[in-house]
Amino acid sequence: MICEFKKYGAVPREVYSGMEPGRKFYTHEKMFKELSQYMEGVKNATGWNVAEAVKELLQKFVK
């Protein structure tokens, strides 16, 4: 995150909270479910670029 702050700057929470409209709290349920399913697949396979794939999944949810 520090690198992102240096690159783009920080935004006050009042301006952008990162939550979807109408939400009062953060939820990582969808992200956790998708990561869990992915990691279960990784456990059963070989030769996958796990670090890059996990990074892509996190970028999808953490904006």
Mind listing the pLDDT tens digit for each residue in 8-33? 888 887 887 778 888 888 888 888 89
What is the reported pLDDT for 48? 65
Contact at 8 Å (CB) between 57 and 37?
A: no
Neighbouring CB atoms inside 10 A of 39's CB total 13
- Among 20, 56, 13, 22, smallest CA distance to 38 is for 56
Percentage, residues of the chain above pLDDT 70:
90
d(CA 49, CA 52): 6
- Which tokens hold the place of 29? 């349920």
Number of neighbouring beta carbons within 10 Å of residue 38? 16
Map residue 41 onto helix, strand or coil: helix
